[in-house]
Structure 1
Amino acid sequence: MHFDLADLRIFVHVAEAKSLTAGALRAHLSTAAVSARVKSLEAQLESRLFYRSSQGVELTPAGKRLLQHAHLILRQVERVKSEFSGYASDAAGHLRIFANTTAVIEFMPEVLADFLAARPGITVDLQERMTSDIVRGVLDGTADMGILGIMVGVEVPSRLKTLPFSRDRLVLATPLDHPLASRREITYEDALDYPHVTLHEGSTLFHYLERKALELGKPLPVRIQVFGFESACRMIEAGVGVGILPESCALRYRDHMRLSVRHLSDAWAYRERSILIRDDHILPGFGQELLDIITQYQSARPLSPEPRTPVQS
């Protein structure tokens, strides 16, 4: 069996575009040439890779499997090129990172601003993804690393290396005059008796809280959904509802908003912030540098003590 990297790149273009024509445009080839290369690849693998229809193409099970291998092979080739083009200098390269909402909004902008300013030849593709997508992306090589908050009881596949770098917890944010604001201890079940301000349905936090509510036999009482923690805090301050937020975020906005921040007593409210990489995967030098920067940046931000009882005004 023999196929070259060009065939793999063409296959990936077609698979991601879900169209021979669009894939040909990405590959800067004619549709006929791309179709012939795909057929040749199918013949060599003795497997059908695409289902073809008038709407485009769809991967077969064999095609999905090949796409996983193709991503890994092509990304490894790019790393080799990157490392040897600037040999040991890491002057140029690319990283793809899948991260949860908290990482994308709360600390990665600051981390990447300093990191990229000092490395003009490096580019980063940071994508907000659900926890399951982060794990899958790192496993199949679509992402170089993943950043997420691993909750109590969450299993990570053995093929992945987990690098914890800080702890965070979920807290309840309420208006200052809310009935729960003066409570010393609050459970998530207590909070479910009140309307909630939540993040959008595509966020990891929303899906996690929705699942936890169902485990308690209650629906998550969503009053309004927003994009971003600042918007959520403004809605909570205005009295629209209460909200479950990462503590680091809630305390930041409490400094200039009329909010009460109370800890949840539920064990699952604690999260281990972790970086995921493949156990058999070697990051390029600049990737390892970014990993170290994230670790150092967050290790300097320990958990705070129990928030003080708010002063009513």
Structure 2
Amino acid sequence: MRDFDLTTLRLFVSVCETGNIARAGEKASIVGSAISKRLAQLEDQVGTPLLVRRRHGVEPTPAGQTLLEHARGMLDGAARIERDMEAYVAGGRGQVRILASVSAMTESLADDVAAFLRQPRHRAIKVDLEERVSPEIVRGVREGHASLGVCWDAADVGALQSRPYRSDTLCVAVPRGHPLAGRRKLRFADTLPYEHVSLPVNSAVQVMLQRRAAALGRGVDHRVVVTNFEAALRVVRAGLAISIVPREVAEAGASAPAGLVLLPLEEPWARRHFILCFRDAPSLTPAAQALVEHLASLAPTP
């Protein structure tokens, strides 16, 4: 059997509900003869009469009554499809996958995404957040595994497009009683004689620190390597090492600096800027575009 034409089914339902071809034509702004032709073709398609002509109108046959029930269901389904697709076009539905650095995840990204999802027009959008190091973020977005990446602007994003996001400031966390704890500010070189607790070697912060140390003809002495800043601060609090961390992380929530001293890092690179990276704006889904606009609006004013 050939596919049913939704316009014909819609006219068939209208004829059944009004009991009159002429009245159905008036509602649809179609002449009655055109409706009669469509209904005759529909009867040929199903192979059985669907309407009985009465003196004052028409009524469905038993087969027509069955088709009427199915037609209403099909038209309701088509209307739902149309509404859902309109919601996608408006950015109201969809799924967005984000790959983000540990800094972005720990600091503000989760809260910023939650604020976006709380808006009524974004209620049906789903967001997947996954923590990665910067090279994996760039590769994942470039290869289409994620719509959006959030990383430090020092990362080499290649041909990806980007928008500014938030900023943070690196500081030096030391345990109370440490020889550096009495200083008012530090240069990076001042930290190198001491053991550090660090993130994985391929993280953006660690790559940058290794390069800065090499430029000074030194190396970073890693006593402990952890996967996130929360763990790094716990190690510092235990008195095992010092660490270079975002001040925003060290001063927040469970990481509040009890037992820690946070010292300003007097380096031009201590102020970091994050970016949103994606393949190209036209390829983003409406949901992803809406999320990018929301996150980009949170960038600090130059």
Secondary structure of residue in 2 paired with 1:179 = coil
Q: Say whether the 8 Å CA contact 2:166–2:298 is kept in structure 1.
A: no
Structure 2 letter corresponding to 1:206: Q
Change (3 A) 1:122 1:202: farther
Q: CA RMSD in A?
A: 3.0
Structure 1 letter corresponding to 2:135: S
Percent of counterpart pairs with the same letter?
Answer: 33
RCO (CA 8 Å, sep 6+): is it higher in 1 or 2? 2
Secondary structure of residue in 1 paired with 2:89 = coil
**How many Å separate the matches in 1 of 2:200 and 2:241?**
15
**How many Å separate the matches in 2 of 1:256 and 1:136?**
35
Q: Say whether the 8 Å CA contact 1:83–1:90 is kept in structure 2.
A: no
Secondary structure of residue in 2 paired with 1:96 = strand
1:68 alignment counterpart: none
Structure 2 unpaired stretches of 5+: 1-81
Change (3 A) 1:126 1:82: farther
Deviation for aligned residue 1:236? 1.1
Alignment of 1:1-313 (within 5 A): 84=85, 86-118=87-119, 119-151=122-154, 155-157=156-158, 159-201=159-201, 203-252=203-252, 255-279=256-280, 281-297=282-298, 299=300
Compare CA radii of gyration and give the structure with the larger one.
2
Q: Say whether the 8 Å CA contact 2:165–2:300 is kept in structure 1.
A: yes
**How many Å separate the matches in 2 of 1:97 and 1:113?**
13
Q: Say whether the 8 Å CA contact 2:152–2:204 is kept in structure 1.
A: no
Deviation for aligned residue 1:143? 2.2
Change (3 A) 1:191 1:82: farther
Deviation for aligned residue 1:117? 4.7
Deviation for aligned residue 1:132? 2.1
2:17 alignment counterpart: none
User: Greater CA deviation, 172-181 or 239-248?
Assistant: 172-181
Structure 1 unpaired stretches of 5+: 1-80, 303-313
Deviation for aligned residue 1:290? 1.7
Deviations 1:170-189 (A, max 9, x none): 21111232222222331222
Secondary structure of residue in 1 paired with 2:291 = helix
Change (3 A) 1:194 1:207: same
Q: Say whether the 8 Å CA contact 1:83–1:284 is kept in structure 2.
A: no
Q: Say whether the 8 Å CA contact 1:146–1:276 is kept in structure 2.
A: yes
Change (3 A) 1:82 1:133: farther
Runs of 4+ in 1 over 6 A off after TM superposition: none
Deviation for aligned residue 1:100? 0.8
Structure 2 letter corresponding to 1:218: R
1:58 alignment counterpart: none
**How many Å separate the matches in 2 of 1:87 and 1:95?**
12
Aligned residues: 218
Change (3 A) 1:87 1:156: closer
